[in-house]
A and B are shown apart, each in its own frame.
Chain A
């Protein structure tokens, strides 16, 4: 059974673990990515490199990208709500980058026709950092930036 076939099983069985323990694949292969995962993009350390990993050249600053449901200060960097809305026509992808994280890219969403170009999720931030929202629209890349401060909370509550 090759890796692709193993990944097609449903129900949450850890087939990979079984294959590893059976000696059929090495642990490194087991931890390799799912078929549709851009490993290079998740290894990049800055905005430009991430854009390149997605096949672009550079990203242009755009006023048509806005952050929604994203506060300026996060009490706990482990859970920072970030929502991005794009008003750029033909938006096909929205990505969220945290500049100062060990790797910049947190998440990349593909927006098919019929889905509104607005997504919200929660990301981890290691420290106060610029957060970039990158949008791919009609083959071109755009971005907007917001700084989110990460504070250290107190003891209780």
Chain B
């Protein structure tokens, strides 16, 4: 046998040996999966927070505010919404007295783990692109028998008027913590939603002639002491999107991404953004896709 072939053959054997050792290791890893999984998620989130954290400010005021935000991170009231959301997910509700456990959020019926990272996406049963809240509305209607009006009623809760939607969103997104954003643009409608969202982002309108870009397309600007992320750049776009939903201290409530867009429209003096409207989903598609590879830390806590 020629030397080259002998070398190749022994390399091949080496590769086989390495492969079998790898399989053994993976086997071990899988068997201790569940405990490892929890610590793995925690580690991923911690690393994500570290990577995602903007470089520590030189400005001492901003550095102190960062410390405040870090101090808030433990004991996040969002956990309370997550617990309520889990109950609502499993509860038999609506005229059909069915739970949401058969709802397909994009990764198969009843699969909750990791779904938020791939939304919005196209769904064949409704023939449209849906974000998480739109999809939850769809399931409440198609599975549980609610009307669209009932499912979309009072999406943003208050102390006396709790929102089912916010609790469900908290539960579902908590199950995607640690996952990397991976929004696809495969289906023509997904591509279309992205383009519409992009147009909306740069579109000026309303009484003040604002666009999203007015506040979110420059570096190093702020309103009072709130930094405004430049959503046209990858790192800030990842950081911003992956921190929603969040417990908003100033609201005393857990707020979702649909709420964030609704409130931006309000601040821009735009007409009211309809809950789960095509426009809201398109904007979400644009911003979520731009956040690809960012690691989800939501539900988080913000001032």
Binding site for B on A (CB under 8 A): 69-76, 78-79, 81, 122, 151-157
How many B residues face the partner with a CB closer than 8 A? 28
Q: Could you list some 19 contacts between A and B, CB below 8 A? A: A71-B68, A72-B67, A73-B67, A75-B68, A75-B225, A76-B303, A151-B225, A153-B224, A154-B225, A154-B228, A155-B224, A156-B215, A156-B223, A156-B226, A156-B260, A156-B263, A157-B226, A157-B240, A157-B302
A73 to B286, CA, bound (A): 34
Contact indicator A71/B64 (Cβ below 8 Å): yes
Query: CB-nearest residue of chain A relative to B223?
Result: A154
Instruction: Tell whether A78 pairs with B226 under 8 Å between CB atoms, given A71-B68, A71-B71.
Output: no
User: For the complex, is B61 an interface residue (Cβ under 8 Å from A)?
Assistant: yes
Q: Are B228 and A156 in contact (CB under 8 A)?
A: yes
Partner pick for B249 among A78, A151, A152, A155, CB 8 A cutoff: A78
Residues in B neighbouring A74, C-beta threshold 8 A: 68
Contacts from B to A (Cβ < 8 Å):
61, 64-65, 67-69, 71-72, 75, 215, 222-229, 240, 249-250, 252, 260, 263-264, 267, 302-303
> Judging by beta carbons under 8 Å apart, are B222 and A71 in contact?
no
Q: In the docked arrangement, what's the CA distance between A11 and B228, Å?
A: 45
Q: Which residues of A contact B252 (CB under 8 A)?
A: 78
Q: How far is the CA of A75 from the CA of B226 in the complex (A)?
A: 9
Out of B65, B223, B229, name the residue touching A155 (CB < 8 Å): B223
CB distance from B301 to the nearest CB of A (A): 9
Q: Is the CB of B64 within 8 A of A73?
A: yes
Contacts of B65 in A (CB 8 A): 71, 73, 75, 151
* The residue from A69, A70, A153 contacting B225, defined by CB atoms under 8 A apart: A153
A10 nearest CB across to chain B (Å): 20
